[in-house]
């Protein structure tokens, strides 16, 4: 019995790190732009690891080899689409214009296996509840829609409102979960001494008491402690 649990633990640990390594190699594209092929690939990889856990006849080494081969094939496909532009439409698909000049292209809808209810769901996800508000709509390869609203319904830009341009500094978390971020302090051209002086000035003796501390150039350091988080509940 103990050997069974021990082998299961080993298979889970090895499978976990194998999937983690595969994810790192393939990059963030697998999650941020999940195409139908990527979705099937994720299911297959999960099934391979599942076989090692639940099927006693499938050895761990066979599963690792299978994951390696499958991951190599996906990686080669990614390289191919990066190097050869013509292969992208075949392997990744291509965007489809499903709304053009305010008119729904019904043929493109059928081609992409979409109906009007699904189209309405996609545009609601973009904060638009009426088709008449849309000038153009493009169905992306990951199944999401990108829209351009008609001028009457679009949000005006700062340029149209004649708002004077101003710098937009990047907010940086100098402390997160009680730990100081040295990289962000360096990026902000600050020092640890300045940070300690600032949190002391705000009556906090130790960074470990801080849930997060956010810095924006030209503004005071915004701090929330763990106790403030509990009080808000």
Per-residue pLDDT reduced to its tens digit, 118-170: 899 999 998 899 999 999 999 887 788 999 999 888 888 888 888 888 878 88
Round to whole Å and give the CA distance between 41 and 35: 10
Where do the domains of the chain lie?
2-89, 96-149, 172-232
β-strand partners of 136 = 100, 148
Comparing 24 with 222, the larger pLDDT belongs to 222
Per CATH, 96-149 and 172-232 having the same topology is answered yes
Instruction: Collect all residues with Cβ–Cβ distance below 8 Å to 170 and sequence separation of at least 6.
Output: none
What CATH number does the domain located at 96-149 have? 3.30.240.20
Q: Full-prediction pTM beyond 0.75?
A: no
pLDDT at position 55 over 90:
no
Distances, alpha carbon 162 to alpha carbons 149, 154, 156, 215, in Å = 21, 16, 10, 29
Share of the chain above pLDDT 70, in %: 66
CATH class for the domain made up of 172-232: alpha beta
Structure tokens of 48? 């391979």
Counting residues of the chain whose pLDDT is more than 90, the rounded percentage is 30
- Among 63-77, 144-158, 188-202, which is the least confidently predicted range? 63-77
Task: Give me 190's structure tokens.
Answer: 């600050």
- Cα–Cα distances in Å, from 232 out to 84, 179, 208, 225, 227? 55, 22, 19, 11, 9
């Amino acid at each position: 019995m103990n050997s069974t649990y021990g082998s299961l633990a080993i298979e889970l640990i090895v499978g976990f790190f194998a999937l983690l390594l595969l994810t790192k190699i393939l990059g963030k594209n697998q999650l941020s732009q999940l195409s139908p092929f990527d979705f099937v690939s994720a299911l297959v990889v999960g099934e391979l690891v599942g076989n090692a856990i639940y099927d006693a006849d499938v050895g761990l080494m066979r599963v690792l080899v299978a994951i390696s081969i499958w991951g190599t094939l996906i990686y080669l496909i990614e390289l191919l689409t990066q190097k050869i532009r013509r292969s992208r439409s075949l392997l990744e698909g291509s965007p489809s214009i499903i709304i053009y000049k305010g008119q729904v292209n019904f043929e493109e809808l059928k081609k992409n296996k979409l109906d009007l209810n699904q189209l309405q769901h996609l545009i609601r996800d973009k904060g638009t509840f009426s088709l008449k508000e849309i000038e153009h709509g493009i169905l992306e390869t990951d199944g999401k829609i990108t829209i351009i609203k008609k001028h009457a319904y679009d949000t005006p830009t700062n340029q149209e409102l004649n708002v004077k341009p101003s710098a937009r500094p990047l907010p940086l978390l100098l402390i997160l979960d009680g730990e100081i971020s040295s990289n962000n302090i360096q990026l902000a051209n600050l020092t640890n001494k300045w940070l300690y002086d600032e949190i002391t000035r705000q009556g906090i003796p130790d960074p470990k008491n801080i849930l997060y501390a956010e810095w924006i150039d030209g503004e005071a350091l915004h701090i929330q402690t763990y106790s403030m988080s509990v009080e808000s509940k």
